[in-house]
Amino acid sequence: MSAPATAGIRPLDRQRIIADRRLAGAVFCRAYSRRVDEWLAEVYRGAGGPERGVALVAVGGYGRSELSPESDLDLLLLHERGRDVARLAGDLWYPVWNEGLKLGHAVRTVLQTLQLASDDLDTATSLLSARHVAGDRDLAERLAGSARDQW
């Protein structure tokens, strides 16, 4: 059995940021969110995530860059219709769990996400803060713009 594609990814090292006494309140939340963004982008690249047709998107509090030490990561693996992203999803979610982080996750197309948001207030409001983390920026921005228009 070969090692997972993400085996060489450096750890998130949350404790270093948490221990930095210069960071407090909103400044801490933004710094921690930025570090998680960088780490997830590295995990995405290590997992072979494509630059087109698939995007890793932060939503909810994470999308607003409001992470605290006990926050869960709300992530959407957004993909174009017909893309098989099951293996990529596993290669993204397992490193998050291995870091001991709580994860809220979904794998959907733009259309599936917007259809769900039309019937589910939690999904709709979480999409108002949708933010690109890795992969296809245009796809992520299409979702964010459509979600705002739908709201």
Per-residue pLDDT reduced to its tens digit, 17-32: 777 788 878 988 999 9
Residue 141 lies in a domain: yes
Query: Residue-wise over 104-124: b if at least 16 C-beta within 10 A, else e?
Result: eebbbbbeebbeebeeeeebb
User: What DSSP state is assigned to residue 82?
Assistant: T
| Residue numbers of the domain that contains 32 | 14-150
**Residues 38-50: tens digit of each pLDDT:** 999 999 999 999 9
Q: Which amino acid is at 24?
A: A
Residue 80 lies in a domain: yes
Residue 81 lies in a domain: yes
Residue 70: its pLDDT value, please?
A: 87
Residue 6 lies in a domain: no
Residue 103 lies in a domain: yes
Residue 77 lies in a domain: yes
**Residues 43-102: tens digit of each pLDDT:** 999 999 999 999 999 999 999 999 988 899 999 999 999 999 999 999 999 999 999 899
Domain count, the chain: 1
CATH of the domain at 24: 3.30.460.10
Residue 8 lies in a domain: no
pLDDT band at 6 (very low <50, low <70, confident <90, very high): low
Residue 2: its pLDDT value, please?
A: 38
Residue 7 lies in a domain: no
Phi, psi of 123, deg, nearest 5: -65, -45
